[in-house]
Amino acid sequence: TVYITGRTKQETEFNPGTLEQAAAEVKEAAVTAGNGGECKHVFCDHTDDASTESVFEQVFAESGRLDVLVNNAYDVSNFPKEGKYWWEREHMAHWDTATNVGLRGHYMCSLLAARKMAEIKRGLIVSVSGPGGVHPEAKSLEGE
């Protein structure tokens, strides 16, 4: 069973899909590949520890284990909001949101997963980064 998490319940200009749509796409890909399996979507705000903890409690209660964790959550606040780019908005609020989701959220998920993985003596944690994490001169998301 694959569990995917996120807080996107409805499409927006900057979130072109929902968590439910992503789960349906994963299920369709598994069927097409002949792999079968399930994909469960769980709404989660990764800035909220209790919300994150409840996801792991659900996974462990339903599956008893976690084989692979892929950390991919990030708050893409670089896009224009209310007609302003990130540098025109409160910059520290932008930073706090991005790091709470991207860095702290990844650490929290890794911590919760690692405890169970160590107990069963197996598991893999993968953390995904954007182009800025790989190439320091990556272009902005505004396309400039």
Identify the weakest region by mean pLDDT among 3-7, 56-60, 105-109, 119-123. Answer: 3-7
pLDDT at 84: 75
Whether residue 25 has pLDDT greater than 70: yes
pTM greater than the 0.85 cutoff: no
Identify how many contiguous H helices and E strands the chain contains and give both numbers: 5, 4
Beta carbons of 95 and 80 less than 8 angstroms apart: no
Beta carbons of 74 and 102 less than 8 angstroms apart: yes
Give CA torsion, residues 65, 71, 75, 79, to 10 deg.
-140
Give the whole-number percent of the chain exceeding pLDDT 70.
80
At how many degrees (to 10) do helices 105-120 and 49-63 cross?
A: 30
Q: Between these two residues, 17 and 62, which has the higher pLDDT value?
A: 62
What is the C-alpha separation between 18 and 84, in angstroms, rounded?
Answer: 24
